[in-house]
A = this chain, B = another copy of it.
């Protein structure tokens, strides 16, 4: 991972690929890389869809190595959804492929001329940029089918669906999984629209001729990784909950906690919750032909939280929908049908939109009366509207904030224009602090205080009280920023927060991979450095304390069943970045 690939779509004579040494970005990977490149090279006041924006794709520092669960890939840019800096990451196989080919980053830059669409092919012979107008407006699954005869099914593909081509602010970037399906998505912030604005439909990465990246200190690395895996297997969340039930194990937990946003964040508990549970979902996958409840989204994953979801006849429906997807299309829309949700998940992946943004936008549209709450068929039709780019689809595809603006509603559950995920900030106040203050717009993954508020991981902070939430969120945001640079899956956090020896083993894998002697303090310093760059970018882009707030109605309208409002003070919120 000592080189960077730049693809300049605005070059004289047509798109041009240049490979250069990693240079000033040495030692960065994942979110560390995407953030540093955007921070240094993208004017904060540029338009996200204009020629000055760049899309940075970067495998994590450990991707392509034998370290467990290290296959995350980050994309970064200025976000068309929020106007902030953005990093979104996914699993799938592309991080490992790019890393094994030696690329620390791929940077898409400049402005496409004309209407042509391009395919980029990367292998050990070099880089090709090919006109690919025959791929125009193909949804992701169809695209993969079309690529298969040309490239086989052992390559990795990074692609956009129709939403990205239409430059929708909810569009995602898909990454293929081990079954060569486009199921893993860098979902948030409209990153697909930036790829679309560059005129690039897909990047095919062929690392079949390459070997796994070798550690600097092989024996020590192996031992550290063994301890790390042991720790992951031993923790209740990463060793049992996630493998058995997937992330959707959270439905019952959040519903019980009264923090499950229902009917567009109207109440904190959904009567139909039991029909959406991870337990039921896992039963379906276990009992139905072709179903698979325990599955890794990339090779080398030991947590195996993903799965394959089939219908009763064994026909593939989608990958196992995540908790946030089950929630956004489920309780948030008053829908309690897991099969309908699997269909929605498939459509989201196929058209290439963020499942959270889409579900919340539909919830807002339901409150506006476009279709009634609970109407699963109607919701499916709405996602088709998005994928086809009808006028209604253009509204929803622009995200929840724009949907609320178009229909004149105050009830837009967003921060910095990005939809809130599956945890009501009134009943899980720590995550509310993260929503308000993260550099990314409302994002649970940026500082997952749910762990400590609800799951008692990494300590325990009462979710219903404002005390201690700012400090909790701060520490988690810092740790997450660092983790997002490594390529390790965020879910390892459950184990490393609770088990110091697992944290140390994780740090040791990095040290032995790179021949370093980092300590926990260095990890914290890396996280802080990333956050400070992101924060500075956002400040230049016009974001300040007034934007680090939840919409006022979360402080005004109490949430049943606990009848709580969001009451973490502005002063506390403004203290999050005191480091």
* C-alpha spacing A551/B48, complex, angstroms: 11
Most chain B beta-carbon contacts within 10 A, residue among A169, A193, A397, A546: A546
A547: nearest chain-B partner, CB-CB: B542
Contact of A406 among B49, B397, B408, B540 (CB under 8 A): B397
Contact residues in B for A193 (Cβ distance below 8 Å): 408
User: Is residue A26 contacting chain B, with contact meaning CB distance below 8 A?
Assistant: no
CB-based contact A402/B408 at 8 Å: no
Contact residues in B for A546 (Cβ distance below 8 Å): 44-45, 540-542
Nearest CB of chain B from residue A189's CB, rounded to whole Å: 14
Given known A-B contacts A398-B402, A402-B398, A542-B546, A50 and B552 have beta carbons under 8 A apart? yes
Nearest CB of chain B from residue A254's CB, rounded to whole Å: 26
CB-based contact B552/A43 at 8 Å: yes
* C-alpha spacing A551/B394, complex, angstroms: 22
Contact residues in B for A394 (Cβ distance below 8 Å): 395, 406-407
* C-alpha spacing A391/B44, complex, angstroms: 32
Count of identical protomers in the assembly: 2
CB-based contact A166/B408 at 8 Å: yes
CB-based contact B549/A45 at 8 Å: yes
User: Is residue A459 contacting chain B, with contact meaning CB distance below 8 A?
Assistant: no
User: Is residue A217 contacting chain B, with contact meaning CB distance below 8 A?
Assistant: no
Binary contact track A497-520/B, C-beta < 8 Å → 1, others 0? 000000000000000000000000
Contact of A544 among B197, B392, B544 (CB under 8 A): B544
CB-based contact A196/B542 at 8 Å: no
CB-based contact B398/A406 at 8 Å: yes
* C-alpha spacing A230/B552, complex, angstroms: 53
CB-based contact A408/B52 at 8 Å: no
User: Is residue A167 contacting chain B, with contact meaning CB distance below 8 A?
Assistant: yes
* C-alpha spacing A392/B551, complex, angstroms: 27
Binary contact track A535-579/B, C-beta < 8 Å → 1, others 0? 000001111101101011100000000000000000000000000
Can you pick out 29 interface pairs between chain A and chain B where the beta carbons lie within 8 Å of each other? Answer: A43-B552, A44-B546, A45-B546, A45-B549, A45-B552, A47-B553, A49-B410, A50-B410, A50-B552, A50-B553, A52-B552, A80-B408, A166-B408, A167-B407, A168-B408, A169-B408, A193-B408, A196-B408, A197-B408, A391-B392, A395-B395, A397-B406, A398-B405, A402-B402, A402-B405, A540-B546, A542-B544, A542-B546, A544-B544
- Known: A47-B551, A169-B405, A398-B405; 20 extra A-B contacts, CB below 8 A, are A45-B549, A46-B552, A47-B552, A47-B553, A49-B408, A50-B553, A80-B405, A166-B408, A196-B408, A197-B408, A390-B391, A394-B407, A397-B406, A398-B406, A402-B405, A402-B406, A541-B546, A542-B543, A542-B546, A542-B547
Interface of A with B (CB < 8 Å)? 43-47, 49-50, 52, 80, 166-169, 193, 196-197, 390-392, 394-395, 397-398, 402, 405-410, 540-544, 546-547, 549, 551-553
